[in-house]
Amino acid sequence: MKYALYPGCAAQGATPELYQSTRAIIGRLGIEVVELAAASCCGAGVVTEVHPDMALAINARTFAQAEALGLDVMTICGTCQGVMSAANQRLKTEPGTLDRINALLAPEGLTYQGHVQVKHLLWIVVRDIGLARLGDLVSVPMRDFHIAPFYGCYILRPSWDLGFDDPENPQSLERVITAVGGEPVPYEGRTKCCGFPIILEKEAIAVAMAGAHMSEAKDQGADFLVTPCPLCHMSLDIYQERAGRAVGRELHLPILHLPQLLGLAMGISAKDLGLAHHLISVDSIVATLGRRQTHS
């Protein structure tokens, strides 16, 4: 199983632990990757607000690079996934768009035929690797942990661009949580917005959103959250103290990236998963799992 890995900006910037943990788990999962080292930012839904064709062109360039390798793209960021799925959909289906963008790519010697699929690690785990296989790889089950999935927006909506989970009732994260031995926590906020896109300029609104979802997850008994999107992670982890103030309570909810959850369940060390980079400590989870390992 081989993919062109598109790490995205956050994993190479403010969430280095996402890149580190991805690298730590993919071999164990049987995934081989060629990293798209010459790829740029996907535009994050922001560049298209300023210049739609620039956003399409930078994504078509990434797709052309993967196509030249004969590989589909693997993303590890929910936002990259949403933006790239939408761009790919436009390039593949909008009359004239692919030709127009290919004309822009031509001077670099690149062309995109429209044959690449973009898949998030979450989808690859659920569909390509399979949950039974994942279950076989678990050596430290997440037994007795109540884990709240936090999908974020871009990996779910608009559903016609993404085409994987049902945005009204997504199940992939729940199934992964169950496969690693944990108990998924049901709560409404799991599909809602973390507020990150406006957190720098409209912090009060953004942290009220993040705070409401974490508060709800906590009320439903969550020990920690897991997310497939590093932008959600930033909102929920880095801004958690402020989000707590917005909802008038101390939250203390560790937030794991998806590959960190998988890594812990496969017995990979906290160090190799970059857990020390988090602002909200994950130590209590690691300690509980460590005690189990020594007893078993």
Partner 1 sequence: MRLTFTIQRFNPEVDSSAHPQEIRLDVGRGMTVLDALIRIKQECDGSLALRYSCRSSICGSCAMTINGSEKLACRTSLRKELERHRQITVAPLRNFPVIKDLVVDMAPFWGKIRDVQPWLSPGSALPRAGGAHSHPEFHNVDACIMCGACVAACTVYEVSKGFAGPAALAKADRFLSDPREAGASTRARLSALQGEHGIWDCTRCNFCVEVCPKDVQPMEAIIRLRRASLDRGMTTTGGARHILGFTSLVEQQGHLNEALMPLKVVGLSPSRLLHILPLGIKMLLKGKIPNPLGHAFPGLSHLKALIRRAKRPMPPV
Residues that bind partner 1 (CB under 8 A): 9-10, 12-16, 37-38, 40-41, 43-51, 53-54, 56-58, 61, 82, 100, 104-105, 107-108, 153-154, 156-159, 166-169, 188, 192-193, 195-198, 200-203, 205-206, 208-209, 212, 238-239, 276-279
- Minimum distance of partner 1 from residue 169's CB (angstroms): 6
Q: Alpha carbon 235 to chain centroid distance?
A: 13
For partner 1, give the closer residue by CB, 248 or 295. 248
* Burial environment of residue 183 by CB neighbours within 10 A (0 to 12, 13 to 18, 19 or more): middle
Q: Nearer Cβ to partner 1, position 141 or 167?
A: 167
H or E element in which residue 35 lies: strand 32-35
Q: How far is the CB of 29 from partner 1 (least distance, A)?
A: 25
Identify the burial level of 204 via C-beta atoms within 10 angstroms of its C-beta, where 0-12 means exposed, 13-18 middle and 19 or more buried. Answer: exposed
- Minimum Å gap between C-beta 82 and partner 1 is 8
Compute the chain's Rg from CA coordinates: 19
Q: How far is the CB of 230 from partner 1 (least distance, A)?
A: 10
Rank residues 17 and 223 by Cβ distance to partner 1 and give the closer one.
Answer: 17
* Distances in whole angstroms, Cα of residue 171 to Cα of each of 123, 209, 260: 11, 22, 19
Nearer Cβ to partner 1, position 146 or 242?
242
Tell me the closest approach of the beta carbon of residue 22 to partner 1, in angstroms.
16
Query: How many angstroms separate the CA atoms of 138 and 63, rounded?
Result: 33
| Type of residue at 111 | T
Around Cβ 113, how many Cβ atoms within 10 Å? 12
Nearer to partner 1 (CB atom), residue 168 or residue 248: 168
